[in-house]
Structure 1
Amino acid sequence: MSNPPKRRDPAQRFNAPKALGAALHRLTGPVVKQRGAALADILSHWEAIAGPMLYQETQPERLIYAAGAGHAATLEIAVSPAFALELQHLAPFVVEKVNGYFGYRAIAGLRLKQKPIHRAESPAPPPRASRPLSSEAAARLAAMLAGIEDRGLRQALENLGRSILGARR
C-alpha cells in the first residue's frame, strides 16, 4: 500500500501572492538604511549635530557615494559665502561630529557649495504687556519730559519711559 500524497494548505504555498510592501521592504531596507535614512537623519537633526553657529551658516544637501567606497560618503553642504573659508578649516571637526552622531563612519569628507542660506524666521515674540502706570509714576515721567520741546523725541521718550516704569518685574 502506498501512502496518498500530502496536500498542502494553499495559503502556505511559497509562490502565493504577497503584499508588495512586505517584499519591497526586505529588498530595499538595507539600501535605505545605509543611504537614504542617513541623509534624512542629517537633515532633520542638523541643528543638534552641527550646533547653533554652523546651523545658521550651513545646510546639508546630499550624500554622494563613490563606487567601491563602502559605507562612507561625501556630505555636500551649502554654506554662506562669508563662512565658506571658516567651514573649510572646520571640515574635520564637522566630519567628526556627524560620524559621532551616527556612531560609525557615515561620511568621509565634505564638499562645500557656496550659496546664500535662507532659514524660515522664527516668529517674533509678542510684546510684553506693561502694567498701567500709577498716578505717581505718570507724574514723575511727565516731570522728566517737561524740558523736551521736540514732539517726536518727547513721544519716543515717553513710550520708553512707560515701558520701563510699567514693566513687570
Structure 2
Amino acid sequence: MRQKIRELGEARGFAATRLLTHWPEIVGESLAAIAKPLEVRHPRGKKAAEEGATLTILALGAAALRLEMEKERLRERVNACYGYNAIARIRIKQAGPEAFAKAPAPIPPPPAPVPPDAVEPLAKDVKDTELRLALAALAANVLSRSRL
C-alpha cells in the first residue's frame, strides 16, 4: 500500500507523501475539513534552482477566501513538513462539496422504459408518420423522466 501511495503522490508532484497522508496533522483538523492538497508543480529550467514549487490546494467553495488569508501560515506548515523551504507559493482552487465527499455519489438508475400502449394514444390522431413517431418518442422521454 505504501508503494502505491508513493507512486500516486509522485505522479502529482508530491516528493514527500507525508503531506498527503498526514494532511490533517500538518494544517489542522479545521483546515483539513475544507481544503486538501491537489498537486505540487516544480518550475523547469533555470528557474528551478531560484524558485520553489507551487502547491495547489483544493478548497471547499467559499472557504477559499479563508485559505487565501491563511496562505502564509499554510506555506510555513507545509515547508515544516518537508524540512526546508520547498513550497514558494500556494494556489487555491475552488471546488464543490462533491470533491470532499467520502464516497462518490451513486449513479442514478436509467429511467424505466415506458410501455408503448401508454404512448400510442397520445399521437394516434396525427396523420404524418414521421411526425407521429417523433411525437411518440418525445412523449416516451417526458413520461420516463416524470416517473423518477
**TM-score between both structures, scaled by the size of structure 1:** 0.47
**TM-score between both structures, scaled by the size of structure 2:** 0.53
Look up the match of 1:103. 83
- In the TM superposition, residue 41 of structure 1 has moved relative to its aligned partner by 2.1
Distance in 1, Cα, partners of 2:72 & 2:61: 19
Which AA in structure 1 matches 2:48? A
Which structure would you say has the larger Rg?
1
Farther-moved stretch of structure 1 (109-118 vs 54-63): 109-118
Query: RMSD value over aligned CA atoms?
Result: 1.9
- State yes or no: 1:113 paired with 2:88: no
Change (3 A) 1:44 1:103: same
Distance in 2, Cα, partners of 1:118 & 1:45: 16
Q: Secondary structure at the match of 1:120?
A: coil
Describe how 1:40-59 pairs up with structure 2 within 5 A.
40-59=17-36
Distance in 2, Cα, partners of 1:118 & 1:36: 20
Query: How many residue pairs were aligned?
Result: 87
Which AA in structure 2 matches 1:45? H
1:45-93 Cα offsets, whole Å, 9 max, x none, are 1111110011000010100111223372100010011101110010000
- In the TM superposition, residue 119 of structure 1 has moved relative to its aligned partner by 4.0
Give unpaired runs (5+ residues) of structure 2.
1-9, 104-148
- State yes or no: 1:87 paired with 2:67: yes
Change (3 A) 1:105 1:83: same
1:67-125 Cα offsets, whole Å, 9 max, x none, are 2233721000100111011100100000001111222012111111100241428xxxx
